[in-house]
Homo-oligomer: A and B are copies of this chain.
Amino acid sequence: MNAIPSASAIRTVHVPLGERAYDILIGPGLIARAGAEIATRLKGRKAAVITDENVAPLYLKALVASLDEAGIASAEVVLPAGEKTKSFEHLITACDKVLEARVERNDYVIALGGGVIGDLSGFAAGIVRRGVRFVQVPTSLLSQVDSSVGGKTGINSRHGKNLIGVFHQPDLVLADTDVLNSLSAREFRAGYAEVAKYGLIDKPDFFAWLEANWKAVFTGGSARIEAIAASCQAKADVVVADERENGQRALLNLGHTFGHALEAATAYDSSRLVHGEGVSIGMVLAHEFSARMNLASPDDARRVERHLKEVGLPTRMSDIPGDLPPAETLMDAIAQDKKVKSGKLTFILTRGVGQSFVADDVPASEVISFLREKHA
């Protein structure tokens, strides 16, 4: 392990949610500094660290040692890796271990892992003693720029993904950028799709910056920290404006309606498609569909596709290995995900790069025609 870098390399994004305000720290060496960062900001002296079997061998020891050094006693909860862990079964285990560790309302649940661990741990933190403090230590690019910020927590139900959960904001997010070096190129790219998304939603300058600087972001160093900080800031802005998703927070779903349908169509088989890849294809489709609806220029769709392709992300349905079900099946998945009111759908569409908006009157018939064309 490297020497602990000085705090000067650390970027801070503040999320001003009143009494639920918190900081996101982004930079190298934050796992080794975790105990100190927590202890200087918060009062609790006990923690339950929840992680998974993949992440535990890499970072759990270092995190626990850092907490220990800061006088924070911790219990360790290691769950199986993968989406199936977002279940009542594992939630019950997690809650039980948190109570066993005698974590009180000012003590911590600490999530060490990607989105699955973050969502499950945040939910446990939200319901044990009707809410204890929660610290996120995200270990994937996707969770650093997306799921660790904003307070959405939850598990899956047989009726669908993320249908059971609470809004429970973290008290601190520690995004250690060193851990990203252990990600596979494919995992990093998948997370990058969400980074690009923030540019496409309403930050055209950020998207242009990514087009010019993406290689430096993939290499690491200050450009990567810059990109993560900009992403967290973009997400924080949306969350602050609409914490409980009554309106504009839906913009964060750009590319996700098509993306989720493709994930469902590939039965969540990560060898074929992971979430960020679905979002990448979905964002291109959202821009193409907006062009087809005469809302945006086809040039914007081509520009978005060019960039995502350049970084190595899939951008077309035909990029997914294996056969896809027919357009009608994709449409069914979309209709299940969304409420269809008298043949109209709510969709995130765009007037061009960085000009997304929530459209709540998209004709289902247009979507199905579009999917048939694209699928052919």
Contact = CB atoms under 8 A, between A and B. Distances in A.
Contact of A157 (B99, B152, B159, B164): B99
Interface stretch (A57-65, A125-133, A287-295, A361-369): A125-133
Interface stretch (A68-76, A88-96, A314-322): A88-96
A187 interface: no
A163 interface: yes
A163 B99 contact: yes
B95 A166 contact: no
A268 to B, nearest CB: 19
Contacts of A323: none
Interface residues of A, number: 27
Contacts of A209: none
A128 B164 CA distance: 5
Copies per complex of this chain: 2
Given A88-B88, A166-B166, A339-B104, A157 B127 contact: no
A131 B99 contact: no
Interface string A125-150: 01111110000000000000000000
Contact of A166 (B96, B131, B159): B131
A113 interface: no
Contacts of A153: 130
B339 A127 contact: no
A200 B160 CA distance: 49
A131 B160 CA distance: 16
A165 interface: yes
B166 A130 contact: yes
A100 B163 CA distance: 12
Given A104-B339, A157-B99, A163 B128 contact: yes
